[in-house]
Structure 1
Amino acid sequence: MITICIIEDILDIREGLQTIIESDERFELLGCFTNAEDAIDQLPVLQPNVVLADINLSGKKSGIDCVQEIKPLFSQMQFIMFTIYEDNDQVFEALKAGASGYILKNTAPEKIIDSLVELYEGGSPMSPKIARKVLSTFNAPMPDNSVHELLSKREQEVLELLSKGFLYKEIADKLSISISTVKRHLNSIYTKLQVQNKVEAVNKLYNRE
């Protein structure tokens, strides 16, 4: 069972998300919040697996503020942002703060479900454009040799391609392996490096903890 919380201040959208989540037996909805302040107060108590958060909220704090305050304390809690815009500096800032992906507000219900499951399983659902923008921030430093000692040659290849912004399918094509094999390598990488998502893995690769 994947436990989920929603942070969304628009009633119709919040109720729509609630309906989508409650219609799937893999999910359990623990709570809905209309502002970041209430979420910051209650998330440490509820400790959901996944938090689906709007960026711009009523109140003084944003969804990004929520990620910045909660993620360092509960690294296992995965945040996915819910936004109107695909290529937006706020999305980028949310990902840098610790969110692991985002969903557009016009996304079809089945795709929202797929994204939540992907996030829970260790993926980072986001567009190639945003992924490259996030991961390009790690291009400058030299790789950390200790990471290379932990990972197999193939795992290093997967992680280095990931650091350049390639999607799972592109990595699979380049290495002549299946997408499921790519995901299996990534799960192994996350376990060995003790990280939760690809941004943290690339961060560790380049020794920027």
Structure 2
Amino acid sequence: MRFNRMLLSTALVVVALVLQVSVLARLHLPGAVPDLLLLTVLGLALVYGHVGGALVGFGAGLLADLAPPADHAAGRYALVLCVIGYLAGLAKPDNGQLRSATGPMAVVVAAAVGSTLLYAGVGALVGDTAARHVGLTNLLFTAALYDLLLAPFVVPGIMALARRAENDPLAETGGAGKSADVAAGWISSGTGLRIGSQRGGLRVKAAKARVARAGRIKGVKRL
């Protein structure tokens, strides 16, 4: 990974982990805890691809394994996020642009369910049966619900930061130019006519009016 990727990924992962431990975990919501760290990995994987997503996921998971108040074996969440980051990176759009929000939302739901199942499965292998006492079905539902509600506020911002840090022309010229064109080129009433086209039409009408006036004046002189 390039240095700018490593720097941005580290900063975002640390911020996400701090917010998750200090804020989201203290909300005491029923079922699962909203996984801000997972959403951060997903946003970066959708920009960096499957290799970058796997590396970011492994680093983020290992940091979560070692950070207090972690009560599970080190490497367990690193394995989960590494697999999730790799699979999410496979969904990276070829042209770098997302056509709709349906794809990312589906990735979020699949990642929330998959990470919960994988975490519980790895826990069962090492003798951790905590998921059985809480209820796996309840964990799956609440994890998907919380992450889906939180995703629109996290994933697009993470992806925009990652693209800007890579000097992606889609983030600098494409997004800004498109928004500027939409803001300056379309009428707020939603008629579908461009202001530039209206100006051109007014110029053509003004030119025709001048020609018509000139013709009328010449006609008077002939008389």
TM over 0.5: no
Normalised TM-score (structure 1): 0.29
Q: Indicate the structure with greater strand content.
A: 1
Higher relative contact order (CA 8 A, sep 6+): 2
Normalised TM-score (structure 2): 0.28
From the CA coordinates, give the structure whose radius of gyration is larger: 2
